[in-house]
Copies of this chain bind each other. A is one copy, B any other.
Amino acid sequence: MEQSGLSRGIRALWGVEERPRRGPKPTVTVHEIASVAMEIADGDGIQAITMAAVAGRLGLTTMALYRHVDSRSDLVAVAADAALGRPPATSRRAGWRRQVGEWARAELAQLQAHAWVLDVILEGPPAGPNNVAWMDSGMQAIGRTGLDPQSAASALLVVDGFVRSMVGQARQYGPGTGWARALASVVDPDEFPAVSTALEAGTFDDDEAFPSDQDVEFGLSVVLDGIEQLIAAGSRR
Contacts and interface: CB of A to CB of B under 8 A. Distances in A.
A124 B161 contact: no
A226 B218 contact: no
Contact of A215 (B14, B154, B219): B154
Interface residues of A, number: 78
Interface in A143-163: 143, 149-151, 153-155, 157-158, 160-162
A151 to B, nearest CB: 7
Contacts of A154: 215, 218-219
Given A126-B172, A185-B4, A193 B136 contact: yes
Secondary structure of the A contact surface, majority rule = helix
Number of copies of chain A assembled together = 2
Interface string A116-130: 000101101111010
Contacts of A237: 214, 218
A48 B140 CA distance: 40
23 contacts: A5-B178, A6-B186, A14-B186, A46-B121, A127-B183, A136-B191, A136-B195, A139-B194, A140-B193, A150-B203, A151-B218, A154-B215, A154-B219, A157-B169, A157-B219, A158-B219, A158-B223, A161-B169, A164-B165, A221-B229, A222-B223, A225-B225, A226-B226
Interface of A: 2, 4-6, 11, 14, 16, 46-47, 119, 121-122, 124-127, 129, 132-133, 135-137, 139-140, 143, 149-151, 153-155, 157-158, 160-162, 164-166, 168-169, 171-173, 177-179, 181-183, 185-187, 191-198, 201, 203, 214-215, 218-219, 221-230, 237
